[in-house]
Chains A and B, each alone.
Chain A
Amino acid sequence: MTFRFDRDTRRRWKDLAMNVAAFLCVVLALIPLGSLLFEASVRGLRSITPSFFTLTTANGGIGNAIQGTLILIALTAVIALPVGILTGIYLAEYGKNPVGAAIRFFVDVMTQIPSIVVGIFAFSLILELGATGIVSQRLVFSTTTGVIALSTIMIPFVARTSEEALRLVPIATRESALALGIPRYRAILRVVLPSSSSAVITGALLGIARVGGETAPLLMTCLGSPFWWQGLDQPCESLPHTIYVFALGPDSALNQAAWGASLILVLMMLGIAIVSRVVIRLRSVSR
């Protein structure tokens, strides 16, 4: 007598096998994240003391780097969020034509450009403008140039995520707003945009997290600075840059501080991700 599984048994085994395989893939994907958090915590926590936050990088702290990163993120957000979201609105609501297709194509290309190339772009833009006397030559290595580079990275990102978010709003919602005799721009701003606001906010926060961790474009724009923030036309320190310099530094105390700075940066980005989740949760509960 041959032993055979009947069809149901075979299906159950296949189901179990796929479940286990999917679970293992999740574990595999989470290993790097877990290891990174663990490593940064274990090595970084030792260097985290109150003075770590209050001293400048010249004195072994990272206070000015945190300050610089917060300023860079804030200024970039002020520029990139309105421009990015409005571009997204254009693409989603008015972009069903050759102009829209062209803009979408270029926005896509821009999201693919390596960030160091964006850094070179911002650097040479200000260098050229400085050479012709339109802007001060001091701006070449400054917060301003850094913000230009980071905005160039963030605008296309936010534009695309906003466009995708707005596209998820059913046509019926737009139609019923228009059928009430509401002008189109107002229907978009007051009905369509609020309907997709969770997704737009998520995209915005992910965009902030993305530029917050950028190092390459800052190397040749903000340059880095051992001092507290000096102004828009002066070089500026940032956390990723501090990590880069400290990690390559000659003594182990600096390397140690690099781990501490890494931990702070990771926690900041994690914080942004958690805030975005909470925002979405709160909004959906109130429904």
Chain B
Amino acid sequence: MAAKIHTDKVSAWYGPKRAIEDITLDFEEHAVSAIIGPSGCGKSTLIRCLNRMHETIPKTRVEGKVLLSGEDIYGLPAVTVRRRIGMVFQKANPFPTMSIYENVAAGLRLNGERNRDRLDTAVLESLKQAALWDEVKDSLEKSGASLSGGQQQRLCIARALAVRPEVLLMDEPCAALDPIATAKIEDLIFDLKKDYTVVIVTHNMQQAARVAETTAFMYLGHLIEVGPTRELFERPKETLTESYITGRFG
């Protein structure tokens, strides 16, 4: 399979502090890649570098290259990159003043789409893809904040999908959810890889094992090991990886 995203010696700084160092990594197309590691290891920083969201934090700096289908994303406008590489965050955060429909349509509408039919179609398809349509089809005009936590997170996924990105980045999407809601999101991630390239950051090693083809382990800003998920968990090459997945630290 081809690499959808390739990072070449990516380093990132917050002010003088270097958060990640020389990360070279491939994320395969139509596959789920997981990034695991203890808190503060730089996993979130790394995926923020993939759609230039780190730039929203003042005093950050990045070196190295990120290629999306061979194209350097730092040579494209940030808004274009973010439309092609969507993102879902740890805490579900529907736009508080918008209805369910408006939330899903927001990405298209605020990028200038006015055609009602096209918006309707995009909302329908995105909610279906996010496995939320059946639960909300009769209450599209209700506030997004009226949904349960798990539904809100799927609403955020639908919102990200509505702009038709090529890649979906997920930053601990289940961290705030109960096991049932988590299972639903995991099923959904499994379905999404048919159409999208998914990169998921997670604290939860079982989750990585369940959803990802490839897993990368990061520690203190360095990429320690990357490989097929099963191999990484069953026969880790590095002792650091082994200590982490067996729970000796973390």
Known: A186-B110, A191-B110, A287-B146. A181 touches B93 (CB 8 A): no
Known: A178-B53, A179-B160, A191-B106. A172 touches B79 (CB 8 A): no
Residues of A within 8 A of B53 (CB): 175, 178-179
- Do A178 and B97 touch across chains, with their CB atoms under 8 A apart? no
Residues of B within 8 A of A41 (CB): none
- Do A180 and B83 touch across chains, with their CB atoms under 8 A apart? yes
Contact among A173, A177, A195, A286 for B110, CB-based, below 8 A:
A177
Residues of A within 8 A of B247 (CB): none
Contact count band on B: 20 to 34
| A194 vs B144: C-alpha distance when bound (angstroms) | 15
Closest to B81 in A: A181
- Do B86 and A180 touch across chains, with their CB atoms under 8 A apart? yes
- Do A172 and B89 touch across chains, with their CB atoms under 8 A apart? yes
Closest to B55 in A: A178
Residues of A within 8 A of B84 (CB): 181
Known: A179-B160, A180-B82, A180-B159. A170 touches B110 (CB 8 A): no
Does residue B204 face the partner (Cβ distance < 8 Å to A)? no
Contact among B51, B58, B110, B143 for A179, CB-based, below 8 A:
B51
- Do A177 and B56 touch across chains, with their CB atoms under 8 A apart? no
Does residue A176 face the partner (Cβ distance < 8 Å to B)? yes
Residues of B within 8 A of A176 (CB): 87, 89, 93, 95, 156, 159
| A175 vs B55: C-alpha distance when bound (angstroms) | 11
| A166 vs B104: C-alpha distance when bound (angstroms) | 23
- Do A173 and B163 touch across chains, with their CB atoms under 8 A apart? no
- Do A187 and B110 touch across chains, with their CB atoms under 8 A apart? yes
Within 8 A of A (CB), among B81-138: 81-84, 86-87, 89, 91, 93, 95-97, 106-107, 110-111
Does residue B192 face the partner (Cβ distance < 8 Å to A)? no
Contact among B58, B91, B96, B110 for A180, CB-based, below 8 A:
B110
Known: A96-B58, A179-B51. A194 touches B82 (CB 8 A): no
- Do B107 and A182 touch across chains, with their CB atoms under 8 A apart? yes
Contact among A96, A175, A177, A183 for B106, CB-based, below 8 A:
A177
Closest to B96 in A: A195
Within 8 A of A (CB), among B134-150: 143, 145-146
Does residue B246 face the partner (Cβ distance < 8 Å to A)? no
| A170 vs B90: C-alpha distance when bound (angstroms) | 13
- Do B146 and A181 touch across chains, with their CB atoms under 8 A apart? no
| A8 vs B111: C-alpha distance when bound (angstroms) | 61
| A175 vs B51: C-alpha distance when bound (angstroms) | 12
Does residue B80 face the partner (Cβ distance < 8 Å to A)? yes
Known: A176-B156, A191-B106, A194-B97. A181 touches B111 (CB 8 A): yes
- Do A195 and B97 touch across chains, with their CB atoms under 8 A apart? yes
Q: Chain B CB within 10 Å — which of A170, A174, A177, A197 has the most?
A: A177
Does residue A190 face the partner (Cβ distance < 8 Å to B)? yes
Residues of A within 8 A of B89 (CB): 172, 175-176, 179
Closest to A191 in B: B95
B146 to chain A, nearest CB (A): 7
| A178 vs B95: C-alpha distance when bound (angstroms) | 12
Given known contacts A175-B89, A181-B83, what 6 new A-B pairs fall within 8 Å (CB)?
A: A170-B93, A180-B82, A181-B81, A182-B110, A191-B110, A287-B96
A sample of 12 inter-chain contacts (CB < 8 A) reads A174-B56, A175-B53, A176-B87, A176-B156, A179-B82, A179-B87, A181-B81, A181-B163, A186-B110, A191-B110, A194-B97, A287-B146
Chain A contact residues, CB within 8 Å of chain B? 96, 170, 172-183, 186-187, 190-191, 194-195, 197, 286-287
Chain B contact residues, CB within 8 Å of chain A? 51, 53, 56, 58, 79-84, 86-87, 89, 91, 93, 95-97, 106-107, 110-111, 143, 145-146, 156, 159-160, 163
Across chains A and B, which 5 residue pairs bring their CB atoms closest together, nearest first? A181-B83, A180-B107, A181-B82, A179-B87, A172-B93
